[in-house]
Chains A and B, each alone.
Chain A
């Protein structure tokens, strides 16, 4: 167990450093001079030098890297070029909105995907199965930035049930969460179906059926528990798609989270904020995947932990 834990933790740590390095490099791979891009071509030479000094861009690359990593360790993400506030403060303001949106989306996705995937697997080949899989195909093919406006069109403009955008009231959460949730549900229902189908072919399911247990007991107690493990892993992996989707969805609905902050920062060329947003989302993803892997190993006795 410790071996596995240690190996997995070390890999994760190296990946974290790699992610930090790439995010650090983002500002340096921009063609031309980042300072010139930030200030525009008409800026005074003195202003450029001042900004270069402030950002530490006059130092050698290796020193800059050490400074950057050192700053991250001390939770110093720099200062926003636009608002002149510490980036860490700007980020912490936005985190609750994105967490709320992501959490609700996952709930919605599970509420749709679990029954749909189960139904499709249990009644394989039936009209239910085909409906569920058509929903899944459509859900994968419909991009967030079209689903969002469509939901606004139907539910806000035609029916008037929900506000168009913003985060003033609880109802504002419904449409963005639905946009992200259905996209996730499309992938998830397919995975649940596949995972459950595999389990349903196992001997212990046949044995349970032969013992005369109720079909619902067999599905819930015997099949679903075993099918849940791969689904949990996929859910962890899909969180990345969810967070990346949140960047676009938050823009569509003016949801004041990290995603909207990212796009705002890109438009204002606020480099430290862009870097920190990308870093935060990616690190979240790395940590969640690490936790899923560990949970998987802990839950599934078949995985040998000593190897």
Chain B
């Protein structure tokens, strides 16, 4: 486990650094070299060239930045909105809670990224629309979890004490409830990041996310699929990148869960 954990943290650190420094690296992801079209890996471009003679390694780095930024944006938005809605529903109870549960149930009835596909398709392709579409789908998981967790802690004595002392609702939520329900939410966020990486790549694969010529792992797979017989490295590289990042985040999530012992009750 220790080895697996360090391997996955290595990948995640690399992903993070790529996102941080891709902007200042001397990269030319759109530079077209017609004499190098579809060439396999060589010394100067260790992942080869794509169908327009662009360096796949450089496009992979910028695609990594895109997927990192999208995942962080979407999960942050979903986390804040979902947690707020969930905690409020559980705290106020009554009709407010019933209405929230109903809305959550309705959103969950749309399977997987179907709603995100439809939304970003209707709003028009583009990375900002993809972020909005994924957030519209993403907040539900956090809301459901935050609500369930808040229900289990809202009758604890320290919460009652805080109420008796006249603490306002926001104060109770932030200082007395959130710290207690943070652990499962953080774990949910970890898995949500992995899910968003795949979802963003999926939308870009369908042509709904990142638009050409900007690189994305998903659109690189789509472009590469057309040249698979002559240049399999075009599909292999971005696919491996997604696989490694998602696998690492999931492993990190698993070890976080073991460490925080969230599911010891069931």
Tell me, in angstroms, the Cα distance from A29 to B133 when the chains sit together. Answer: 12
Tell me the bound Cα distance from A240 to B121 in angstroms: 19
**Would you give the shortest CB distance from B134 to chain A, in whole angstroms?**
13
Cross-chain contact of B198 among A14, A22, A137, A143 (Cβ < 8 A)? A143
**Which chain A residues numbered 236 to 253 have a C-beta less than 8 Å away from chain B?**
239-241, 243-245, 247-248, 251-252
Residue of B nearest to A289 (CB): B109
Instruction: Say whether A278 contacts B235, CB under 8 Å.
Output: no
Instruction: Check: B36 CB closer than 8 A to any chain A CB.
Output: no
Q: Is A215 an interface residue (CB 8 A)?
A: no
Interface 1/0 per residue, B205-217 and A, CB below 8 Å? 1111000000000
Report which of B111, B235, B243 forms a contact with A285, defined as CB distance below 8 A: B111
**B106 within 8 A of partner (CB):** yes
Q: How many residues of A contact B (CB 8 A)?
A: 48
Q: Does A132 contact B (CB under 8 A)?
A: no
Tell me the nearest residue of chain B to A157, going by C-beta: B229
Complex CA gap A137/B249 in Å reads 11
A188 interface residue, CB < 8 Å from B? no
- CB-CB < 8 A to A146: which residues of B? 221, 235, 238-239, 242-243
Asked if residues A241 and B111 are in contact (CB atoms below 8 Å), the reply is: yes
Binding stretch for chain B, among A70-78, A111-119, A147-155 = A147-155
The answer to the question of B119 belonging to the interface, with a C-beta cut-off of 8 Å to chain A, is yes
Q: Nearest-CB distance from A180 to chain B (Å)?
A: 12
- Chain A residues contacting B246 (CB-CB under 8 Å) are 140-141, 143
B250 interface residue, CB < 8 Å from A?
yes
- Per the bound structure, the CA–CA distance linking A286 and B194 in Å amounts to 26
Contacts of B107 in A (CB 8 A): 22
Determine whether the beta carbon of B228 is less than 8 Å from that of A22: no
Instruction: Contact check, A251 vs B206: say whether CB atoms are below 8 A apart.
Output: yes
Most buried by B among A18, A138, A239: A18
**By the criterion CB–CB under 8 Å, are B235 and A150 in contact?**
yes
CA distance A286 to B221 in the complex (A): 32
* Residues of B in contact with A, size category: 35 or more
B interface footprint on A23-66 (CB within 8 Å = 1, 0 otherwise): 00011011100000100000000000000000000000000000
A11 interfacial by beta-carbon distance below 8 Å: yes
List of A residues within 8 angstroms of B184 by Cβ: none
Contact between B224 and A149, CB atoms less than 8 A apart = yes
User: B258 near A: Cβ within 8 Å?
Assistant: no
- The reply to whether B122 and A152 contact each other, CB–CB distance below 8 Å, is no
Q: Is the CB of A137 within 8 A of B235?
A: no
> Are B198 and A262 in contact (CB-based, < 8 A)?
no
Q: How far is the CB of B179 from chain A (nearest CB, A)?
A: 29
- Given the known inter-chain contacts A247-B117, A278-B118, please indicate yes or no for A145 contacting B112, CB distance below 8 A: no
Least CB distance, A70 to chain B, in whole angstroms: 20
Q: In the complex the two chains form, is B225's CB within 8 Å of A252's CB?
A: yes
Instruction: Considering the complex, give the chain A residue whose CB is closest to the CB of B248.
Output: A141
**Binary interface encoding of chain A residues 255-282 relative to chain B, with 1 for a CB under 8 A from any of its CBs, else 0:** 0000000110011000100100010011
Q: Which of A138, A145, A271 contacts B205 (CB 8 A)?
A: A145
Chain A neighbourhood of B260, CB < 8 A = none
- Assess the B102–A281 pair: CB atoms within 8 A: no
Q: Is the CB of A271 within 8 A of B122?
A: yes
In the complex, what residues of B have CB within 8 A of residue A140's CB?
246, 250
- Assuming the contacts A149-B225, A274-B122, asked whether A263 and B206 have C-beta atoms less than 8 A apart, the reply is yes
Closest to B239 in A: A146
Q: Contacts of A278 on B, CB cut-off 8 Å? A: 110, 114-115, 118
State the Cβ distance, A227 to closest chain B Cβ, in Å. Answer: 15
Within 8 Å CB of A241, what residues of B? 111-112
CA–CA, A252 and B218, complex, Å: 12
B201 (CB) vs chain A CBs: closest residue: A143
Tell me whether B202 is interfacial, beta carbon within 8 Å: yes
For window 137-188 of A, CB contacts with B under 8 Å fall at: 137-138, 140-146, 149-150, 152-153, 157
Residues from chain B with a CB closer than 8 A to the CB of A297 are none
> Do the beta carbons of A19 and B117 come within 8 Å of each other?
no
* Contact yes or no, B228 A149, CB < 8 A: yes
Q: Which of A11, A27, A144, A239 contacts B105 (CB 8 A)?
A: A11
Q: Judge whether B111 and A281 touch: CB under 8 Å.
A: yes
Question: A1 within 8 Å of B by Cβ?
Answer: no
B111: nearest chain-A partner, CB-CB: A240
- Asked whether any CB of chain B lies closer than 8 Å to the CB of A15, the reply is yes
Contacts of B109 in A (CB 8 A): 15-16, 18-19, 282, 285-286
Q: Judging by beta carbons under 8 Å apart, are B117 and A266 in contact?
A: yes
Asked if B113 is an interface residue, CB under 8 A from chain A, the answer is: yes
Q: Once the chains are docked, how many angstroms separate the CA of A137 from the CA of B117? A: 25
Contact A243–B111 (Cβ < 8 Å):
yes
Q: How far is the CA of A14 from the CA of B23 in the complex (A)?
A: 49
Identity of the chain A residue whose Cβ is nearest the Cβ of B124 in the assembled complex: A37
Q: How far is the CA of A245 from the CA of B205 in the complex (A)?
A: 13
Is A150 touching B239 in the complex (CB atoms < 8 A)?
Answer: yes
Q: How far is the CB of B65 from chain A (nearest CB, A)?
A: 19
- Considering residues A241, A244, A251, A286, which has the most beta carbons from chain B within 10 angstroms of its beta carbon? A244
Interface residue ranges, B against A (CB under 8 Å): 102-103, 105-107, 109-115, 117-119, 121-124, 194, 198, 201-202, 205-208, 218, 221-222, 224-225, 228-229, 232, 235, 238-239, 242-243, 246-247, 250-251
